[in-house]
Amino acid sequence: MQPRPPDRTLRPDDGRLARGRRSRARIREAARALFRERGFDGATLRAIAARAGMGASSIYRHVQSKEELLIEELADLQEEAWRRFRAEDARDRPTRERVHRFLRVQHELLVADRDLTAIALRATTRPEARVARRVLALHDRTMGLLVEVLQMGRVRHDLDPEVDVLEAARALFHITLGARIPWANGLVQADACLQSIQAGVDLLFRGLSARQS
Amino acid sequence: MQPRPPDRTLRPDDGRLARGRRSRARIREAARALFRERGFDGATLRAIAARAGMGASSIYRHVQSKEELLIEELADLQEEAWRRFRAEDARDRPTRERVHRFLRVQHELLVADRDLTAIALRATTRPEARVARRVLALHDRTMGLLVEVLQMGRVRHDLDPEVDVLEAARALFHITLGARIPWANGLVQADACLQSIQAGVDLLFRGLSARQS
DNA sequence: GCATCTACGCGAACAGACTCGCATAGGACC
DNA sequence: GGTCCTATGCGAGTCTGTTCGCGTAGATGC
């Protein structure tokens, strides 16, 4: 299953591989459309397969689980978030502000699709599955990016030098993650979710910022 | 399904209701045992039913979903955590220390059962399901208890009066929740998880504590 | 051309959570 | 005791993600 390390004689552009890529693309497209139409749980694998023009079992040639189909979207979205942030980022702004901006950009992208957040979290609760690792790797990546921002703040004495930037990044990330859960369950509106995130970040930054004693 | 509001003539202790309670108890016992033996996903509903001495479908007279069986354990465990904390709590200790103690107690209880954490989180990703609401209610309850502790710290000027205790409680809770995810996935040991929780809490408290200017 | 290899695809199954319609037993009311 | 009511239990069936074994087409080596 899945790309799989090309066993021995790896052909660069075998006709079969090209066909496979096209199939994969069709599957992803169909999945994305159906996820949006009926939600993750409502979108049946058989339906996805039908729309992609193939049998249900064939999907498993290209994907390890249904969740993986959604997680790919998440990975893309995360890259997009970072790209947008980079584009509008001003490195000389205060660190707190930069973090706020990144989280706002990320939030705006995630808000478009409630299932994405929920299913990513769900995937995280299946320790045996590959997807779980994948999602956790995405988490790590986001935290790494936050570390980058924080570190820069530290070297220019924007942050208290005593703070552990890795722990700080973790805390920031987990605050945003946790704040999204009630939203994903429809208990709070998207903007209330964002406000909660920002309040948490501000709270944390009270302790992170350099004391101007 | 489920207790259901007794329609009109509610009999206090009908023989049938008593039987139902006994069944419920057997189901819960069987479920708990099997969850521990084979894990949540490994424990088949049919197996649970068999051990409880009934058919698989009968379980649904007493429970809305398999997850609900586990969530009941979580609710109990949470009560237990609070009870233990109350027992050993010293109200005159600094707020930060009290929070640390509570989280440590909670951690010790949760650590005994990895699935509990994972499945509770998973339940959270099914917005339509009752269980999701139930778990979120448990979250709220824990946050409420944290608010209680924080509030007490505030009135005695242990905390900066400017901080929003509710937001602080949320942040604290989310930090602990997030820190448990890698642990639930077997990526970090239990004590590393606890350390991460404590580091996050300390970080947050740097900003919460009253400035001794 | 021929044999061989292999990425794809398929239909048939499997497993496991959950639903449905029906049966039963214990109570209540008369 | 007879009649109705209803909480409980059950077996058969549904739905859906996933696996299995087989067939096929395209590529490669000779």
Q: Which pLDDT value is given to residue B13?
A: 67
Q: Which pLDDT value is given to residue B8?
A: 46
Residues A1 and A60: beta-carbon distance below 8 Å: yes
Is pLDDT at A54 greater than 60 in this prediction?
A: yes
Interface of B with A in 116-175 (CB under 8 A): 118-119, 121-122, 124-127, 132-133, 136, 139, 160, 163-164, 167-168, 170-171, 173-175
The pair of structure tokens assigned to A168 is: 């700080």
Q: Which pLDDT value is given to residue B3?
A: 39
Angle in degrees, 0-180, between the axes of helices A130-155 and A95-111, rounded to the nearest 10: 150
Check A164 against B124: CB less than 8 A apart. Answer: no
Model confidence band, residue A210 (pLDDT cutoffs 50, 70, 90): low
Q: How far is the CA of A7 from the C1' of D26 (A)?
A: 18
Residues B94 and B158: beta-carbon distance below 8 Å: yes
Residues B20 and B59: beta-carbon distance below 8 Å: no
Is pLDDT at A11 greater than 60 in this prediction?
A: no
Give the position of tokens 């509001």. Answer: B5
Between B4 and A142, the higher pLDDT residue: A142
Question: Cα–Cα distance between B83 and B72 in angstroms, integer?
Answer: 17
Model confidence band, residue A7 (pLDDT cutoffs 50, 70, 90): very low
Q: How far is the CA of B61 from the C1' of C21 (A)?
A: 15
Q: Please give the model's pTM, rounded to 2 decimal places.
A: 0.91
Nearest CB to A174: which of B122, B127, B179? B179
- Among B181, B193, B194, B205, pick the best mutation site for testing chain A contact (most A Cβ within 10 A): B181
**Strand C interface, protein residues by Cβ within 7 Å:** A 4, 6-9, 14, 16-17, 19-21, 23, 49, 53-58, 61-62; B 9, 11, 14-16, 19, 41, 43-46, 56-57, 60, 65-67
Q: Which pLDDT value is given to residue B45?
A: 97
Q: Which pLDDT value is given to residue B11?
A: 56
Chain-centre distance for alpha carbon B46 = 26
Q: How far is the CA of A50 from the C1' of C17 (A)?
A: 24
Cα A6 to Cα A13, A17, A131, B119: the distances in Å are 12, 11, 21, 37
pLDDT in tens, A88-115: 988 899 999 999 999 999 999 999 989 9
Question: Cα–Cα distance between A56 and B103 in angstroms, integer?
Answer: 46
Other C-beta atoms closer than 10 Å to the C-beta of B49 total 20
Give per-10-residue mean pLDDT for chain B (213 aa).
Answer: 43 69 93 95 96 95 95 94 93 94 96 93 94 96 96 92 94 97 96 97 85 53
Model confidence band, residue A17 (pLDDT cutoffs 50, 70, 90): confident
Q: Which pLDDT value is given to residue A212?
A: 53
Q: Residue B42, CA: closest nucleotide via C1'?
A: C16
Other C-beta atoms closer than 10 Å to the C-beta of A96 total 19
- The protein residue nearest C10 (Cα–C1') is A55
Q: How far is the CA of B9 from the C1' of C18 (A)?
A: 30
Phi-psi region of A2 (alpha: psi -120 to 50; beta: other; left: phi over 0): left
| Amino acid of residue B18 | A
Domain edges within chain B: 13-64, 66-208
Residues A204 and A175: beta-carbon distance below 8 Å: yes
Percentage of chain A beyond pLDDT 90 is 83
Q: Which pLDDT value is given to residue B197?
A: 97
**Per CATH, domain A13-64 is 1.20.120:** no
CATH architecture for segment(s) A66-208:
Orthogonal Bundle (1.10)
Is pLDDT at A6 greater than 50 in this prediction?
A: no
